[in-house]
């Protein structure tokens, strides 16, 4: 047991109090923590911001009591976790573990890990907005006198730094630097950017359709399809498969041809022992030319291995990529072709391409060996295309769900994909251009809202010098725990999408704020020891000039033939509201306050923004607008997920490490992607462990308590159980001075650089 002093952080929103705990860190700073309900020994009415409190922690560093000195009467001591507690497990109970009973114990909430943070984005749910109508003519105001045509002038004030940059970067190798987009001394946000931001915001508020949807996109989270040549003998049920050779590759426009044959699985060590070169050098590398080996296979054994096919070496070797770990016997496939060929239609090649956009082999080539996922374990070699489910590059393949399948029947599908000849209100205001849909009953038509450029007069003098920005992660809508609705037990590939993506804002928005999320030193690139690299030299990020906060600009919207409902909606989102403009929005950049300065009709007469005619919006629209405003309230510790984990030769630190250890869906057996992997922590001094729920992104809450946990923790492995990852408890925040051993070094470069891109281009 230990006792320390802390402070309360109290926020009030519409009479509701949100109370958090501020504790000192080892380095003299402060960290924010939620207060477990059983540990709260005070009434919310007594809590004030900055109030000093007494904090008690148990031997495992759990917060068990938070009290205001002199004001804790009448409250009960929270239940202590003991060996009799239902959440306690005995590690020595091997029989229970093997029988599966141990998995039936309740799981701790992820807050058990501590180190809370806010994700850069959240979601506002989709909703059905049944109101649709025929497209409105540009000249509707000539016959309908209650329609409005004129100009709306807006004042835009930056609340966080604004990133608006020229497409051309400074001519230099490596790290890119971008200057702000300017005309003379004025800083500019292009009209197209203003239009896009306004249209998307109106879409979110009305629950309307998206402008365009990638009809070929397949939502796929990494390699989630486990296949085996002999699934009946596998420890876990797997999909049956066999090898085939690409004779002529297909694509999204036409089919292709594959050659069949006999497939055998052999231990990788057997091939390695018969090959007189660097075996690992022959393993396929991302997006590079594949160099195949050929084997002499006789009497169920590898006799010899060659780099060329000849009369003796007839079996083509299909090597997997570099092994992730050394557990178990590594196995490779070998293939002996016959004369049988199958024409595979477009759907197979299109699905492959869409599942492998970011994979090791995004485009198949002639003579590539591929794996065929078969419909039944009774089939060893497919007879027709109907025996094949999919084509894959590796036996641990990629399986996803088409985006259009998840959006089918929803209001989110673009209006040009619906056949009722009508459009939603936002489409009616901004126009539409049908994309690859000749059957659309909605013609292309121009919008009735046209913004000018947003201009910050003399804004050039308010630009920062070149700032090294944090790395912007690419959007990954296939990420199940962050883009789907569901809980840790039930989340799967069929779970619905979470909604419209919106970006959060940070309390740390100042140019000189050391905790600003856009600074490279806070979310950078990390070396082998987990250290932050030099942000002015890395290729994966860039530097740019930023427009400082509290700078005012103006923009005009030219509008025509707006109904009172459309004008009301436009005024709603343009007056005393938050917009997100420019780049770097996940880093907290581009938060701006927008205000209507003046509304003039086509005759130059002023129209009042509070005119009674504008009180026509329904309650659902107003409710969604209020939700949007709440998502833009600044929060503490706005960060991409990040943890640090030691491996054989270095410390892996970053977002992928957090996901693979604290937010990973299940992948094994028949329950593939049914729920999240649990995370186990063990106390070294006791014979017990605790299972923590794998984390999904919490639904947005009005009180900003939709935390994720484990930010930048150091997860050190414990090897008491070889069947799952177990970490030492309690988790600690990563500290290079404490956790770096000094002997960490790179295991070799496996990503892309100038040379690998050049080789890939030459091998096309």
| Mean per-residue pLDDT over the chain, rounded | 83
pLDDT of 756 above 70: no
* Distance of alpha carbon 346 from the chain centroid: 29
Please give the average per-residue pLDDT across 655-661, as a whole number.
89
Report how far residue 309's alpha carbon sits from residue 298's, in angstroms, rounded to the nearest whole number.
16
Whether the link from the prior residue into 730 is cis, omega within 30° of 0, is yes
Predicted pLDDT of residue 91: 25
| 416: confidence class by pLDDT, cuts 50, 70, 90 | confident
HEC letters along 170-238: CCCCCCEEECECEECCEEEECHHHHHHHHHHHHHHHHCCCCCCCCCCCEECCCCCEEEECCHHHCCCCC
- Angle, vertex CA 44, rays to CA 43 and CA 47, nearest 5: 100
Which has the minimum average pLDDT: 16-30, 46-60, 87-101, 699-713?
A: 87-101
Predicted pLDDT of residue 320: 85
Predicted pLDDT of residue 749: 44
| Tokens (6 digits) for 534 | 């030099």
Predicted pLDDT of residue 82: 30
Please give the average per-residue pLDDT across 79-106, as a whole number.
32
Instruction: Give the closest residue to 660 by CA, choosing from 645, 682, 671.
Output: 645
Predicted pLDDT of residue 87: 31
Q: Determine contact, residues 356/224, Cβ cutoff 8 Å.
A: no
pTM tops 0.85: no
| Alpha carbon distances (Å) from 52 to 11, 48, 63, 551, 656 | 16, 9, 16, 37, 38
Where helices occur in 163-293 by DSSP H, the ranges are 191-206, 268-274
**Residue 233: helix, strand or coil by DSSP?**
helix
Instruction: Give the closest residue to 203 by CA, choosing from 634, 618, 625, 632.
Output: 625
DSSP state of 520: T
Predicted pLDDT of residue 12: 73
CA atoms within 13 Å, Cβ hemisphere of 42: 22
| Alpha carbon distances (Å) from 383 to 336, 343, 375, 376 | 17, 11, 11, 12
Please give the average per-residue pLDDT across 338-365, as a whole number.
89
Instruction: Give the closest residue to 554 by CA, choosing from 278, 186, 270, 208.
Output: 186
CA atoms within 13 Å, Cβ hemisphere of 462: 20
pLDDT of 89 above 60: no
Report how far residue 319's alpha carbon sits from residue 420's, in angstroms, rounded to the nearest whole number.
52
Report how far residue 140's alpha carbon sits from residue 567's, in angstroms, rounded to the nearest whole number.
14
**Residue 283: helix, strand or coil by DSSP?**
coil
Residues 357-410: pLDDT tens digits?
777 888 899 999 999 999 888 888 899 999 999 999 998 888 888 888 888 777
CB count, 10 Å around CB of 370? 22
Residue keyed to tokens 């070929």:
216
Which has the minimum average pLDDT: 206-220, 288-302, 433-447, 649-663?
A: 433-447
Predicted pLDDT of residue 31: 76
pLDDT of 81 above 70: no
Predicted pLDDT of residue 529: 84
Please give the average per-residue pLDDT across 72-95, as a whole number.
33
HEC letters along 82-129: CCCCCCCECCCCHHHHHHCHHHHCCCECHHHCCCCEECCEEEECCCCC
Which has the minimum average pLDDT: 253-262, 437-446, 456-465, 541-550?
A: 437-446
Residue keyed to tokens 């630190």:
653
Predicted pLDDT of residue 577: 92
Which has the minimum average pLDDT: 11-20, 151-160, 179-188, 658-667?
A: 11-20
CA-derived radius of gyration, the chain: 29
Q: Count Cβ atoms within 10 A of the Cβ of residue 439 and give its class: 0-12 exposed, 13-18 middle, 19 or more buried.
A: exposed
Q: Determine contact, residues 650/747, Cβ cutoff 8 Å.
A: yes
**Residue 641: helix, strand or coil by DSSP?**
coil
pLDDT of 727 above 80: yes
Predicted pLDDT of residue 760: 47
Predicted pLDDT of residue 325: 53
Report how far residue 724's alpha carbon sits from residue 720's, in angstroms, rounded to the nearest whole number.
9
H/E stretch holding 628 reads: helix 619-631
Considering 60-64, 204-208, 483-487, the range whose residues carry the highest mean pLDDT is: 204-208
- Angle, vertex CA 605, rays to CA 603 and CA 607, nearest 5: 125
Q: In degrees rounded to 5, what are phi and psi of residue 516?
A: -60, 130
First vs last C-alpha separation in the chain: 64
Percentage of the residues of the chain whose pLDDT score is greater than 70: 85
| Tokens (6 digits) for 719 | 């090897």
Please give the average per-residue pLDDT across 678-695, as a whole number.
77
Please give the average per-residue pLDDT across 448-476, as a whole number.
93
| 217: confidence class by pLDDT, cuts 50, 70, 90 | confident
| 439: confidence class by pLDDT, cuts 50, 70, 90 | low
Q: Give the contacts of 219 (CB within 8 A, at least 6 positions apart).
A: 400, 401, 402, 403, 406, 477, 478, 483, 493
Residues 127-170: pLDDT tens digits?
876 788 999 999 998 889 889 999 999 999 999 999 999 887 76
β-pairing, 643-646 with 713-714? Answer: parallel
pLDDT of 684 above 70: no
pLDDT of 591 above 60: yes
DSSP conformation letters of 462-479? GB-S-EEBPPPPPP-TT-
pLDDT of 53 above 60: yes
Q: Determine contact, residues 586/482, Cβ cutoff 8 Å.
A: no
Predicted pLDDT of residue 101: 35
H/E stretch holding 679 reads: strand 679-683
**Residue 503: helix, strand or coil by DSSP?**
strand
pLDDT of 630 above 90: yes
Please indicate whether residue 106 or residue 545 has the higher confidence score (pLDDT). 545
pLDDT of 728 above 90: no
**Residue 758: helix, strand or coil by DSSP?**
helix
| Alpha carbon distances (Å) from 607 to 61, 448, 564, 571, 574 | 61, 18, 12, 11, 15
CB count, 10 Å around CB of 761? 9
């Amino acid at each position: 047991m230990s006792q320390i002093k802390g402070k309360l952080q109290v926020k009030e929103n519409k009479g509701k109090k949100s109370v958090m705990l501020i504790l000192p860190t080892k380095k003299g700073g402060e960290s924010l923590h939620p207060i477990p309900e059983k540990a709260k020994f005070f009434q919310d009415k007594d809590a004030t911001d900055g109030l000093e409190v007494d904090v008690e922690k148990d031997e495992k560093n759990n917060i068990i009591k938070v009290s205001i000195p002199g004001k804790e009467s009448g409250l009960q001591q929270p239940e202590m976790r003991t060996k009799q507690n239902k959440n306690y497990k005995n590690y020595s109970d091997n029989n229970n573990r093997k029988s599966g009973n141990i998995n039936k114990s309740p799981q701790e909430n992820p807050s058990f890990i501590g180190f809370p943070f806010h994700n850069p984005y959240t979601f506002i749910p989709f909703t059905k907005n049944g109101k649709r109508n025929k497209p409105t003519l540009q000249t509707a105001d000539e016959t309908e006198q209650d329609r409005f045509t004129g100009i709306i002038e807006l004042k835009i004030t930056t609340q966080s730094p604004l990133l608006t940059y020229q497409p051309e970067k400074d001519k230099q190798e490596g790290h890119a630097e971008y200057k702000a987009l300017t005309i003379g001394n004025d800083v500019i946000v292009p009209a197209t950017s203003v239009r896009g931001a306004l249209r998307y915001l109106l879409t979110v508020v009305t629950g309307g359709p998206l402008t365009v949807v990638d009809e070929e996109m397949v939502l796929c989270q990494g390699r989630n399809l486990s296949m085996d040549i002999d699934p009946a003998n596998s420890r876990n049920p797997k999909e049956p498969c066999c090898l085939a050779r690409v004779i002529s590759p297909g694509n999204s426009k036409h089919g292709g041809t594959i050659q069949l044959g006999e497939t055998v699985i052999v231990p990788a060590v057997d091939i390695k022992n018969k090959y007189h070169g660097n075996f690992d050098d022959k393993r396929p590398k991302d997006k590079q030319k594949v160099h195949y080996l050929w084997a002499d296979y006789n009497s169920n054994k590898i006799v010899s291995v060659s780099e060329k096919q000849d009369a003796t070496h007839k079996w083509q070797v299909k090597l997997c990529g570099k092994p992730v770990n050394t557990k178990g016997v590594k196995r490779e496939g070998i293939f002996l072709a016959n004369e049988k060929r199958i024409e595979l239609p477009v759907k197979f090649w299109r699905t492959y391409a869409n599942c492998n956009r970011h994979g090791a082999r995004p485009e198949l080539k002639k003579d590539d060996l591929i794996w065929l996922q078969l419909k039944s374990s009774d089939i060893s070699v497919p007879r027709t295309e109907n025996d094949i489910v999919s084509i894959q590059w590796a036996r641990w393949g990629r399986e996803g769900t088409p985006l259009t399948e998840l959006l089918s029947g929803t209001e989110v599908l673009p209006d040009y994909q619906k056949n009722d000849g009508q459009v939603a209100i936002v489409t009616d205001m901004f126009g539409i251009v049908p994309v690859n849909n000749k059957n659309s009953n909605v013609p292309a038509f121009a919008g009735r809202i046209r913004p000018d450029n947003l201009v910050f007069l003399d804004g050039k003098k308010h630009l920062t010098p070149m700032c090294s920005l944090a790395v912007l992660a690419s959007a990954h809508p296939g990420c199940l725990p962050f883009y789907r609705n569901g809980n840790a037990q039930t989340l799967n590939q069929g779970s619905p999408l979470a909604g419209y993506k919106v970006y959060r804002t940070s309390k740390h928005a100042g140019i000189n704020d050391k905790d600003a999320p856009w600074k490279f030193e806070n979310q950078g690139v990390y070396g082998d020891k987990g250290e932050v690299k030099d942000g002015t030299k890395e290729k994966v990020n860039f530097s740019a000039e930023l427009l400082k906060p509290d700078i005012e600009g103006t923009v005009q919207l030219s509008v025509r033939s707006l109904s009172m409902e459309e004008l009301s909606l436009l005024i709603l989102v343009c007056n005393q509201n938050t917009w997100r403009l420019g780049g770097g929005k996940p880093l907290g950049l581009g938060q701006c306050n927008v205000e209507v300065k003046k509304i003039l009709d086509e005759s130059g007469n002023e129209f009042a923004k509070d005119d009674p005619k504008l009180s026509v919006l329904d309650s659902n629209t107003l409710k969604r607008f209020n939700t949007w405003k709440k998502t833009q309230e600044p929060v503490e510790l706005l960060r991409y997920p990040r943890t640090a984990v030691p491996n054989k030769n270095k410390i892996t630190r970053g977002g992928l490490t957090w996901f693979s250890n604290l937010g990973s869906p299940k992948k094994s057996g028949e329950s593939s992607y049914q729920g999240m992997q649990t995370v186990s922590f063990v106390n070294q001094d006791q014979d017990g462990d605790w299972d923590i729920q794998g984390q999904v992104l919490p639904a947005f809450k009005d009180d900003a308590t939709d935390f994720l946990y484990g930010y930048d923790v150091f997860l050190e492995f414990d090897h008491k159980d070889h069947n799952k990852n177990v970490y030492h408890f309690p988790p600690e925040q990563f500290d290079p001075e404490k956790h770096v051993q000094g002997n960490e070094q790179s295991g070799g470069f496996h990503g892309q650089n100038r040379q690998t891109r050049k080789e890939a281009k030459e091998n096309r």
